[in-house]
């Protein structure tokens, strides 16, 4: 698990991640994660869902 600075850094640099633009060619589907993570004010994040769909990993997170 990342500390809050690690989370902030990864969210700020999301486009540097492997296949980032292939998965999110435009930001509007990823921005809700940034908004919720900011609203969580550093609360612990937990991956609540993870699956592979047509070879792509998808995840859901909950905070608090």
Q: Reduced to 3 DSSP states, what percent helix, strand and coil does the chain have, rounded to the nearest 5?
A: 45, 25, 30
**For the chain, how many structural domains are there in total?**
1
Residue in this structure with the two tokens 């608090």, named with its chain if needed: 64
pLDDT single digits (tens) 11-59: 999 999 988 998 888 889 889 989 999 999 888 889 999 999 988 888 8
What is the per-residue pLDDT for 1? 56
**Which range marks the domain in which residue 28 is found?**
4-63
What is the per-residue pLDDT for 2? 65
What is the per-residue pLDDT for 35? 92
Confidence of residue 6 (pLDDT cuts 50, 70, 90): confident
In this structure, the number of other CB atoms found within 10 A of the CB of residue 18 comes to 6
What is the per-residue pLDDT for 29? 85
Tokens of 5: 């600075």
Distances 31 to 47, 54, 60 between C-alpha atoms, Å: 17, 23, 13
Residue 9 CA to residue 53 CA, distance in Å, equals 27
């Amino acid at each position: 698990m990342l500390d809050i600075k690690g989370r902030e850094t990864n969210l700020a640099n999301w486009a540097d991640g492997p296949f980032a633009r292939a998965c999110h060619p435009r930001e509007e589907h990823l921005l809700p994660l940034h908004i919720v993570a900011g609203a969580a004010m550093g609360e612990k994040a937990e991956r609540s869902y993870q699956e592979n769909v047509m070879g792509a990993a998808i995840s859901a997170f909950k905070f608090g």
